[in-house]
Amino acid sequence: MKKDYTHISVILDRSGSMNAIKTEVIGGFNSFLEIQQKDEEQATLTLVQFDSANPYEVIHSFKPLKEIPKLTANTFVPRGLTPLLDAIGRGILDVNSFIKTLDKKERPEKVVFVIITDGQENNSREFTKARVTDLIKKKTEKKNWQFVFLSADLNAIEDAKGYGISAKATAGYMSNGFVFHRVFEEASSEVSSYRKSLKDKIELKKDEDK
């Protein structure tokens, strides 16, 4: 593995209900991106957007982090339903498959898998909850994979815990622009600390911790 090289994979919900918080999503993602791009450690990013019209659209794949453009109203257009399990499952398998094609010395030392959604699963066709849970469990056990789950739906956060994602790596955001921005900034700061090996896992602060 290549020391100090992190791959970040973002699975972004583009279902119709996200339209109500479209501006906040764009701002939140761009805030996350800006913080990451300031770090000097090597990093690449994969961005996947999903909805029922296109359940898995790869926008960027293992692209150098500093070359990733900001999200805009033209590049994030909510529509359709929420095939969340399919997006997570395919995302994990695709990242894993690509890493295997790399020379062992060029493989990322760390993988951060970020899921951004506003609701619960309602349209998957390929992956079940049991299969996704198993994939996450296997990757989490490898120690160098970290999962982060950001959602506007508290029930969806409970589902994330059911998938095996640590409760400390989940956070809820609201349509309130300030809260939304703060959650994404804190998540990005935690990812930065993990990339720099200042922390061995990603843990997001809860309101009661502040």
What pLDDT is stored for residue 208 in this prediction? 45
What pLDDT is stored for residue 181 in this prediction? 81
Beta strands in the chain (DSSP E): 2-13, 43-50, 57-64, 108-117, 145-151, 170-172
Question: Is 57 part of a structural domain of the chain?
Answer: yes
Convert the pLDDT of each residue in 120-158 to its tens digit.
899 999 999 999 999 999 999 988 999 999 998 777 788
Q: What does the angle CA 110 – CA 30 – CA 146 come to, to the nearest 5 degrees?
A: 20
Domain enclosing residue 163, as ranges:
2-106+122-143+159-199
User: pTM for the whole thing?
Assistant: 0.94
Question: Is 148 part of a structural domain of the chain?
Answer: no
The crossing angle, in degrees rounded to 10, of helices 84-101 and 129-141 is 40
pLDDT band at 175 (very low <50, low <70, confident <90, very high): low
Question: Is 209 part of a structural domain of the chain?
Answer: no
Convert the pLDDT of each residue in 102-119 to its tens digit.
999 999 999 999 999 988
Q: In what order do the strands lie in the sheet with 43-50?
A: 57-64, 43-50, 2-13, 108-117, 145-151, 170-172
Question: Is 66 part of a structural domain of the chain?
Answer: yes
Question: Is 207 part of a structural domain of the chain?
Answer: no
Amino acid letter, residue 39: D
Question: Is 173 part of a structural domain of the chain?
Answer: yes
* CA atoms within 13 A of residue 201's CA, in its CB half-sphere: 14
Convert the pLDDT of each residue in 15-60 to its tens digit.
999 999 999 999 999 999 999 999 999 999 999 999 999 999 999 9
Give φ, ψ of 123 to 5 degrees. -150, 15
Calculate the average pLDDT of the chain.
93
Query: For residue 69, what is the DSSP state?
Result: P
What pLDDT is stored for residue 19 in this prediction? 93
Q: In this structure, is the dihedral angle defined by the CA atoms of residues 71, 76, 81 and 87, taken in order, positive or negative? A: negative
Which is higher by pLDDT, 61 or 154? 61
Which is higher by pLDDT, 206 or 184? 184
Question: Is 91 part of a structural domain of the chain?
Answer: yes
Q: Over the range 103-124, which residues count as b (16 or more CB within 10 Å of their CB) and which as e?
A: eeeebbbbbbbbbbbbbebebb
Residues paired with residue 170 on neighbouring β-strands, in sequence order: 149
- pLDDT exceeds 90 at position 205: no
Which is higher by pLDDT, 209 or 128? 128
Q: Residue 36 sits in a domain of what CATH number?
A: 3.40.50.410
Question: Is 126 part of a structural domain of the chain?
Answer: yes
Total domains present in the chain: 1
What pLDDT is stored for residue 173 in this prediction? 77
